[in-house]
Homo-oligomer: A and B are copies of this chain.
Amino acid sequence: MVPDLQEIEQVHESIKSRINRTPVLTSSSINKIAGCEIFFKCENFQKTGAFKFRGANNALLSLSDEELSRGVATHSSGNHAAALALAARKSGVKAYIVMPRNAPRNKVNAVKEYGGNIIFCEPTQQSREETLNDVVSKNGAVFIHPFNDYRIIAGQATAALELIRETGNLDYVIAPVGGGGLLSGTSLAVKLSDNNTKVIGAEPSGADDAYRSIRDGKIYPSIEPKTVADGLRTSLGEKTFDIIRRFTNRIITVNDTRIIEAMRLIFERMKIIIEPSSAVPLAAVLANKIIFEGKKTGIILSGGNADFDNLPWK
């Protein structure tokens, strides 16, 4: 069932000792450039470097002892894999992570360091799913989907809950959208708390499947997405699509040039590290200043796992 505000608040209570309470930062120089007042919720400082750790912990807390004894499994080459691995280790549970053979070395190392059991597959969707099915049927591990799961969505919603509790009412809250776990959770937490706040999804124009899906009322798969924002190349799931359709005000797309500019602006002015996906909301503001002029705007900085060997402005 779609989480309501009470459930999100309960989830927050149950995971809050396991997660970092991340800071809300402001930058007077970025406010000046943007022409509005921005509150950055810094999930780049979350454990494992991304908001995904919230949902992963909530998923683990939802399992029975019998399920926990069998372990958890997922396929991911990104932040969900690291988040599930660490959340599982902290619960004393095995995590089986299916990763493509060509996954970036830093991502593989992160999962290893957090104690995840990596099973490599070929870099195709088919191989991923087959390998995951093998792991699940052999070990009885419980599959934890990276976003199309109400427990995950409710967990991700707690970032926006903390944000609006700290700032009070905002005019806008913006989150990036890939599979939609963060955006659907953010939309629920914000709209159920104050229906006057507008929630906006920010999406790369080179991976605009969510924009088109919401526009046309049906899920388009993300086919050959082309964007530097590697966390946002996924298609929506049925659950995230349904929530975004009902609770998100609109989706704004923005091109990679602007995404890279916004990422660098945050590096230079705030002295904090974000990954490209996290720069999309600020890029959306800077490309649409007239919409946000003078408004109190919350932005979820989703993660900080940038690849320092391949910063996008090189």
CB < 8 Å: which of B45, B49, B273 contacts A273? B273
A44 in contact with B271 (CB, 8 Å) = yes
A224 interface hit (Cβ, 8 Å):
no
Q: Is A13 an interface residue (CB 8 A)?
A: no
Instruction: Label chain A's interface by main secondary structure.
Output: loop
**A264 interface residue, CB < 8 Å from B?**
yes
Contact at A313–B304, with CB atoms within 8 Å? no
Q: Check A103 for interface membership: any CB of B closer than 8 A.
A: no
The copy count of this chain in the complex is 2
Besides the known contacts A44-B271, A267-B273, 18 further A-B residue pairs in the complex with CB atoms under 8 A apart: A45-B271, A49-B271, A264-B308, A267-B308, A268-B308, A271-B272, A271-B273, A271-B274, A271-B304, A272-B272, A272-B273, A273-B273, A308-B311, A308-B313, A309-B313, A309-B314, A311-B311, A314-B314
Smallest CB gap from A273: residue in B: B271
> Chain B residues with Cβ under 8 A from A313's Cβ?
308-309
What B residues does A308 contact at CB under 8 A? 264, 267-268, 311, 313
12 contacts between A and B (CB under 8 A): A45-B271, A49-B271, A264-B308, A267-B273, A271-B273, A271-B274, A273-B273, A308-B311, A308-B313, A309-B314, A311-B311, A314-B314
